[in-house]
Chain A
C-alpha cells in the first residue's frame, strides 16, 4: 500500500474519525467479552448509559471521574510534548495529596479561600517535587524516566503507607488515614450547589475541583502552544539537536516539563482530599494516574482531545459500576478489562487502521477534487 501523504489528510480524519473507529472496535471487542460472560452486551450498553447519564447523581459521578482523568491526562500530555513518558502520575498524585493535606491542616488559621489557594499550590509543589528527581536524573544522567517514574510510584506508595501508619495517622482510630480537615475547608460539593437552587439530591463526590480541571486544561493549552516555554519544550521533544543549536537547553526543559507534569498530577490530590475524602486515605489515587496515560493518548495530547477522552473514561467508570451492580456475571474486573481493551486500541494499536482510513479519505477527497 502506497504511503499516504500526511499533509493531505484532513485534520478531522486523523483527530476524529480514527479515534472513533478505534473506540468502536474496542467496544465491539468488549461486547464480545460481556457476551462470553453470559450477559447481553446491548443491555450492558443501556446500563452504562443509564448509569452515567440516567439520573443526576450518576451524571455527577461521571463528572467526578472526569475531573481526575483530566488532571492525570494533562499531566501525561505536557511531559509527552517534550517526548518524556511520565508514567509516574500515580505517585505524583499521591504525594500531591500529601501536599494538600499538610498545607490545609497547618494553615487552618487563615481565611478559607486562601487556604484553598495555598493547598492547590501545595499539591502542585509536592507533585512537581516528586517528578523533579526522575527529571533531574534523566537530564543529567540519562536515566530513563519511564523506569525511574515507575520506581517512584512504588516509593511514593511505600512512603505514604509509612506516613499514614506511623507519622500522620489519626491516633483515635486504627485505619491508615489521617484526621479529617475542618469542615469549613471542604470544597463545596455539587450537592451543596444543587441545594442552593432548591434541588435535593443524594451524595455524589463531584465538587468545584471540576472547575479547576477546566482551568488546568486552558492553562495547558496556553502553556504548550502560546508561550515560549511550551515552544521550547516542543522543540526539545521533536529535535533535541536542533534545540541545542538554537540555544534551547534540553536539560532545563526536561526538568520544567516533568515538574509541570508532576504538578498537574498533584492536582488530583485537590479533588480527592479537599473535595471527597477530606483526609488522606491509603491508596486514594486508585489507578487514575495510569488511566491518565490512555486518556492523553486517546486525546492526542491536546486539551481539546483530553477533555472528551476523560469524559469517556468517566462514563466507563461510572456506567461500569452500574453494570456490575445489575449483572451478576460481570465483575468489577471485567471493566478493568474493558478499559484495557480501550487502551489497547487507542494506544498500542492506534495506528492499526490509520493508514487504511487515511488513504480511504484522501482518495475520496481527491476524486471529489478532480471531478
Chain B
C-alpha cells in the first residue's frame, strides 16, 4: 500500500520578478526514491529549500503524512522528519564526526551517559545503513564521499524520515557514487523516503522508482521510472530532443602544437603530484585526460597553464620551449602566445564572482586593445563586446552589468568559455567544462569545443565524467597517481577498459 508522505500543493515562489516556482504540485510516496530532474535554474533547489524551510513559499500548502504543516525554518522541517544534504556540506572541518553531529544538541550531550547513548545510537545507525564511519575521525581528514555520509548520518540521527539530497554526486568519484547508491538503496529498504535532485539522467534511471521533471519553474511531468527512458526525460527537461551522442567529423590531426616531456610537479605541500608525464597534442585533435579526481590532473593543468611551478621536465608550445624548472612563462605570457585555459574550478579560479559579468568577460584580457588603452579601461567597447559574446554564447540573462554570482552555474561556465574561446587560441586546456552544468548547456559547450578542434586548435580535455571524455576525445590518456597509465585511440576503447585503468588495476 503506497501512502503519500509529502504532498505539495500549488506552491509558488518569486524572487522579485523571477517566478522560480509556479503552481508546483508534487506527491512523494513513502519508502520510495523519488527523483527530481531539471536543468540548472529550473527551480529544483528552490522547491527543496522551501520544503526544508530555508525559504517560505508565497502561496501553497505542504503536508507531511497528510497533516498540513507550516515550515518557517529548517528547525520546523527537522521536527517534521525532513532532512537535507546540501551540495556544499555544512560541516565544521576541525571537529570530529561526533562533534559535528551533536552540534546544536551539545548542551545535554557533551558529558555523561547521554553522550554514550548518542554514540551507541550513531553506531547502530552506521551499522544498519552500512555507513562505515569512524565517529572519532576529524572531518578534514575525510574524503568528500565520507563527508557526505556524515551529512546523511546527521540527518538520520535527527530523525529524518524524508531525506533530500541536492546534486549528491557532483563532487564524487565513480566509486564513491556506487557506494552512495548502495547506502541510498539500503535506506529505502528500511522504509526511509529519499528525494534525489539531480540533472544526471543516468542516476535517475539507476536509482529512482518515480521521477518528476521541472522546467523553467514549472513541474512538467511525473512518471514511474520504469515507464520512461533517458531520451524521453531529456526531452521533457529541455523541451526539445537533445543529441546525447555528438556527431563529429573524422579527426584530421596536424602538426604537434603542444607537448610535455618528462614533467614532474609538486603541490603546495611539497608532495609530488605529477610524475614524469609525457603528452603530445596535435592541431585539430582533442586529447582526453581521464582519471579519478585527485590523481594529479589539477596540478598538471596548473603547471601547463603557467600557474604552478614546474619541478622538472619541459613544456613546448609550437615547438618552442616555454617552461622548465629554471624559468617558466606566467599565464599572461602564455595567453599572448595563444594558449587559453578553462580552469577546473570556475568559482575558485575562473571567475571573480563579485565582479560584474562584463568585468569577468575581459578577465585576463583586460590589458589588451580595445579593452584597455594606455591602462584606462574602455568601458563602451567592453560593454559592446560583452553584449556581443553573451549573445553569441547564449549567456542568460544577457545583462553585462549583473554581478556574476547571480548567474547560474551553466551560465557562469559559458562566461568563461566565451572569454577563452573568443580569442581563437591555438592550444586550449579545458578542465571539467561541464561540471554542474545542465544538459542544454552541456550540448552547447561540447559543440563549441568540437568547432574549435575543427578549426585546428589542439585541445586538452581534463574531465572526471567518463561519458564526456568518450564523446569528445579523439585520443584518451588515463592518469593514475600522477602518472599516465594508458593511452587509447577513442575508436577502440570501452568504458570498462578505461575504468580499470582509472582504478589503477592494470
Contacts and interface: CB of A to CB of B under 8 A. Distances in A.
B389 interface: no
Nearest to B49: A2
B56 A2 contact: yes
Interface string B294-332: 000000000001110000000000000000000000111
A239 B55 CA distance: 29
Contacts of A3: 54
B372 A228 contact: yes
Contacts of A5: 15-16
B338 to A, nearest CB: 14
Interface stretch (B165-173, B217-225, B359-367): B359-367
Contacts of B351: 239, 242
B331 A246 contact: yes
A33 interface: no
B343 interface: yes
A64 B415 CA distance: 48
Contact of A229 (B16, B355, B375, B403): B375
Nearest to A244: B307
A8 B305 CA distance: 37
Contacts of A241: 348-349
A247 B16 contact: no
B355 A247 contact: no
A228 B377 contact: yes
B348 A247 contact: no
A370 to B, nearest CB: 7
B363 A8 contact: no
A235 B355 contact: yes
Contact of A227 (B332, B353, B375): B375
A191 B240 CA distance: 77
Contacts of B402: 7
A247 B332 CA distance: 5
A200 interface: no
Interface in A222-248: 226-229, 231-232, 234-235, 238-239, 241-248
B406 interface: yes
B372 A366 contact: no
B375 A370 contact: no
B335 interface: yes
A245 B305 contact: yes
B17 interface: yes
B376 to A, nearest CB: 5
A369 interface: yes
A345 to B, nearest CB: 25
A265 to B, nearest CB: 23
A245 to B, nearest CB: 5
A370 B14 contact: yes
Size category of the A interface is 20 to 34
Contact of B352 (A6, A229, A238, A370): A238
A248 B377 CA distance: 16
Nearest to B308: A244
A228 B382 CA distance: 12
Contact of A369 (B17, B331, B377, B403): B17
A227 B364 contact: no
Contacts of B307: 244-245
B75 interface: no
Contacts of B455: none
B55 A228 contact: no
Q: Which of B16, B375, B376 has the most chain A CB atoms closer than 10 A to its own CB?
A: B16
A240 to B, nearest CB: 10
Contact of B366 (A228, A242, A249, A366): A228
Interface string A349-371: 00000000000001001100110
Contact of B331 (A239, A245, A370): A245
A235 B16 contact: no
B379 to A, nearest CB: 7
B17 to A, nearest CB: 6
A245 B333 contact: no
B62 to A, nearest CB: 15
B492 to A, nearest CB: 36
A7 B56 contact: no
Nearest to A239: B352
A227 B378 CA distance: 9
Nearest to A9: B16
Contact of B16 (A2, A227, A366): A366
Interface string B462-503: 000000000000000000000000000000000000000000
B420 to A, nearest CB: 11
A238 B352 CA distance: 7
Nearest to A370: B14
B341 interface: yes
Interface string A242-278: 1111111100000000000000000000000000000
A331 B409 CA distance: 57
A191 B402 CA distance: 49
B291 interface: no
Interface string A82-111: 000000000000000000000000000000
A245 B420 CA distance: 12
A118 B450 CA distance: 60
B354 interface: yes
A261 B377 CA distance: 21
Contact of A228 (B306, B343, B367, B406): B367
B377 A231 contact: yes
B363 A235 contact: yes
Given A226-B379, A370-B14, 10 more contacts: A2-B55, A5-B16, A7-B16, A227-B375, A238-B355, A242-B363, A245-B364, A247-B330, A248-B364, A365-B16
Interface of A: 2-3, 5-8, 226-229, 231-232, 234-235, 238-239, 241-249, 362, 365-366, 369-370
Interface of B: 14-17, 54-56, 305-307, 330-333, 335, 341, 343, 348-355, 359, 363-364, 366-367, 372, 375-377, 379, 402-403, 406
25 contacts: A3-B54, A5-B15, A7-B16, A7-B406, A8-B15, A8-B16, A226-B376, A227-B376, A227-B377, A228-B376, A231-B366, A235-B355, A238-B352, A239-B352, A244-B307, A244-B331, A245-B305, A245-B307, A245-B331, A245-B350, A246-B332, A246-B363, A247-B364, A362-B16, A366-B14
**A-B interface, 5 closest residue pairs, ranked by CB to CB distance from nearest:** A247-B332, A246-B364, A247-B331, A8-B16, A7-B406
